[in-house]
Amino acid sequence: MSIRINPSILSCDFADLRGQLALIADADMAHVDVMDNHFVPNLTFGPPVVERIRAVSPVPIDAHLMIDDADANAPVYAELGCESVTFHAEAAKAPVRLARELRRLGAKASIALKPATPVEPYLDMLGELDQVLIMTVEPGFGGQSFLDVCLPKIRRARQAISASGLDILLQVDGGISLQTIDRAVDAGANSLVAGSAVYGAESPAAAIGALRERAAA
Ligand code: DX5
Ligand code: ZN
């Protein structure tokens, strides 16, 4: 199983987005955290900035939307060309309809679950999804510690995805580093988001390489 590494630009220097994106040309995708100060207690950027990020990024965009009213707001990110759009289950009234809409607009459809949200209620919609994101920190901030309590949920999701035979990525986001990536991969994750572990390193490119190597070991 090939492992994807998607650096989160949340930990990059926002004054130099173009330059910071150029540093992760070896990554699989750029993970772009959109926060609205309502769904999470932090605020980043919205459609106009994401559109420019997409235009200058050397790799496709993995948009992670931590925003309320996903049903109305998530399709905008598919329309502006994000290759993958992740909405939060807790913020969507009609997740199946939303996932279908994202696909109709040409994006990969992905659902995210906060640490306390169970995965079981969403397993019967796997056929509508291209990715499931299990959060291993409370969403909102980079640099937090990986929550081991989420490991059984990652295993459960892996079991269901494998049993379905569908081509669905299992992404883990929060606290991924050289110290924790093994735990996520052993539990079945095949797409890893890393913010501070990549942009906090002296060489983001070397950090991506090291995470890849560790995940493959
Ligand atoms: C947190 C974001 C993450 C964050 C991860 O809410 O969704 O993508 O950037 O940062 P690290 O890897 O530092 O935990
Ligand atoms: Zn994220």
How far apart are the CA of 44 and the centre of ligand 2, in A? 12
Phi, psi of 156 (to 5 degrees): -65, -45
pLDDT score at 217: 86
Ligand 1 pocket member 136 (CB < 6 A): no
Kindly list the domain boundaries of the chain, sorted by start residue: 4-216
**CATH top-level class of 4-216:** alpha beta
- Rounded distance between C-alpha atoms, residue 198 and residue 93, angstroms: 34
CB atoms within 10 A of CB 130: 21
SS percent in the chain: helix, strand, coil, step 5: 45, 20, 35
The yes/no answer to whether this complex scores an ipTM above 0.95 is yes
CA–CA gap between residue 210 and residue 216 (Å, rounded): 10
Q: Is the CB of 31 under 6 A from ligand 1?
A: yes
Q: Dihedral through CA 121, CA 176, CA 25, CA 46, nearest 10?
A: 60
Residue 87 three-state SS = strand
- pLDDT confidence of residue 1: 56
> Which residues of the chain have a pLDDT value below 70?
1
